[in-house]
Amino acid sequence: MPLFERLTPAAADPEIDRPAPEKLLAGDPVFTTWNVEEVDGLYCGIWQSTPGKWRISYDEWEYCRILEGRSVITGEDGTEYPLSVGDSFILRPGFKGTWEVLETTRKDYVIRL
């Protein structure tokens, strides 16, 4: 394993997924994830979703930066967080709400369990 790695889709094989049916609220979003690193409860890579809306609930800590597209995260309290290219944010354990992808969105991420 190299000691330096760029976060690009070419760095890992893609994993294709969708939200669990009980979490899906609108559309038919398709998730593509390129997990570049998975070690000792640390995950990082690139994630992409096509348009749709689903419920989210975080047990982990996640840092993200939007690379492409537009999304809106809405907290349980109704606060909306519009996201577009260049936005960086942290979701902490206990955050609950929804994620709506308005335009296919790609982000890089670091997750710590």
Q: What is the pLDDT of residues 37-84, one digit of tens each?
A: 999 999 999 999 999 999 999 999 999 999 999 999 999 999 999 999
- 42 located within any domain: yes
Q: Tokens 């009980």, residue?
A: 22
Question: pTM of the full predicted structure?
Answer: 0.94
Phi, psi of 108 (to 5 degrees): -100, 155
Q: Please give the pLDDT value at position 102.
A: 98
DSSP, res 2: -
Note whether residue 33 is domain-resident: yes
Q: What's the CA gap between 35 and 5, in Å, rounded? A: 12
Total number of domains constituting the chain: 1
Q: Indicate the SS3 state at residue 20.
A: coil
Is 17 part of a structural domain of the chain? Answer: no
Q: Domain of 42: which CATH number?
A: 2.60.120.10
% of the chain beyond a pLDDT of 90: 89
Residue 88 domain boundaries:
24-112
- Indicate whether 53 belongs to any domain: yes
Cα 90 from Cα 26, distance rounded (Å): 24
Q: Does some domain include residue 88?
A: yes
Domain assignment present for residue 10? The answer is no
Kindly state whether residue 11 falls inside one of the protein's structural domains. Answer: no
Whether 87 is covered by a domain: the verdict is yes
